[in-house]
Amino acid sequence: MTLEQEKNPWLAAEVRFDKAAATLGLDDGMRKVLKKPAREMTVNIPVMLDDGRLEVFTGYRVQHSVARGPGKGGIRYAPDVNLDEVRALASWMTWKCAVVNIPYGGAKGGVICSPTLMSDGELERLTRRYTSGIMDMIGPDQDIPAPDINTNERVMAWIMDTYSMHARQATTAVVTGKPMELGGSLGRREATGRGCMIVTMEALKKFRLTPETTKVVIQGFGNVGGMAAQLMAERGFRIIAIIEYDGAIYNAEGLDIQALMDHRKETGSINDFAGGEAIDKAEAMFLQCDVLIPAATENVVTSQNAERLNCKILCEGANGPTTAVADGILAEKGIFVIPDILANAGGVTVSYFEWVQDRQGYFWNEKLVNERLEDIMVQSFASVAKWGETRKVDNRTAAYMLALDRVASAIRLRGIYA
């Protein structure tokens, strides 16, 4: 397999699916049903740019499965969005929702664009036209989008408003990750990073480590990595390195995360931070540490570098940070992997809480949100660990087996409509 093929997210999703399905003993018919997306849509999005030019963008929405409930998944804006990536992410959402046992299926969306080069007005027009294009696929009982790469609360507000205008009523539950004023949930912004912290705390028990004796390296300092760093530092973890797209900062005694956040806010970068030394960003991932959290993009741990990882625990804050080929290398090294479909499921879990609150019209305080998130993450970690121990498989295969079993069970109970 070439490195390009190895980094194809849809091929990686298939490899992991096939391994789990075979170990689980799923029949061929069920494998076919679970593997293929239920529905895909490609839309061409004409947008009038600020300079008067008319440009046409391409957008996608994929529903992988709605067997256990409405589709759920983010929308990303990026120049390298492609249908295979969206398919893979939609399937991961199916398994992620099943692992944490919330009543959703998996979906994902994306638009091929360069959002950093677009004005706010252009982004709003793009978002509203994309929303109208996928209108038949989304809805509180059909498919509930959320923020992802290069989308945020404001984009969700535009989607919610566009949908509501067509529905002729305010429909807050059509998206999650919204501003608080439009039905957002307390604790949502921190949820993915908090989930990473919670499952890492559970993993420490297996190594008889405490936060105070645990050295952590985090790749990515955005919403997931930054929140994980902040919350873990508050619990006493020693965050020795932060890696970003433009550099890396190291301090063997532990970085002052709040000071680093303040520095980044002031300067726009983690570089030149007085509380740490600059190190090569490509080499920082291979520092000796107890926990490595890749929390940025896909395909950062590959067959080319997995052998060099020097951690005990790999907690996947990003979606698909490890290629399928690298899985075997990590297993041989004895690295305890907390797979993405468990590790970063805190975000979709609190998105579920937001959807529930919107539909009830009754909102919870942040303490209750965080307590319920911790309950689900701890229980889900235990379920995955139990599957792995009883069936003698690695954590990723265990998580996939648990997810496939839950989705397959739902399909068997529902039957096949003919």
d(CA 264, CA 249): 12
To the query of whether residue 108 is one of the catalytic residues in this protein, the response is yes
Tell me the pLDDT of the chain (418 aa) as tens digits.
677 888 888 888 889 999 999 999 999 999 999 999 999 999 999 999 999 999 999 999 999 999 999 999 999 999 999 999 999 899 999 999 999 999 999 999 999 999 999 999 999 999 999 999 999 999 999 999 999 989 999 999 999 999 999 999 999 999 999 999 999 999 999 999 999 999 999 999 999 999 999 999 999 999 899 999 999 999 999 999 999 999 999 999 999 999 999 999 999 999 999 999 999 999 999 999 999 999 998 899 999 999 999 999 999 999 889 999 999 999 999 999 999 999 999 999 999 999 999 999 999 999 999 999 999 999 999 999 999 999 999 999 999 999 999 999 999 999 998 7
What class has domain 39-170?
A: alpha beta
What does the alpha-carbon distance between residue 64 and residue 86 come to, in Å, rounded to a whole number? 10
Query: Contact at 8 Å (CB) between 23 and 401?
Result: yes
Measure the CA–CA gap between 185 and 189, rounded to whole angstroms: 9
Query: Looking only at Cα atoms, what is the longest distance across the chain?
Result: 66
* CATH class held by domain 191-343: alpha beta
Annotated active-site residue in 19, 72, 96, 108: 108
Q: Where in the chain is the domain with CATH 3.40.50.10860?
A: 39-170
143-147 and 291-294: which strand pairing?
Answer: unpaired
pLDDT of residue 387: 96
Residues of the chain with CATH 3.40.50.720: 191-343
Q: Which residue has the tokens 């303490």?
A: 367
Cα(356)–Cα(371) distance, integer angstroms: 16
Residue 134 makes CB contacts below 8 A (sequence gap 6+) with 41, 43, 59, 61, 109
Q: Are 278 and 247 in contact (CB under 8 A)?
A: yes
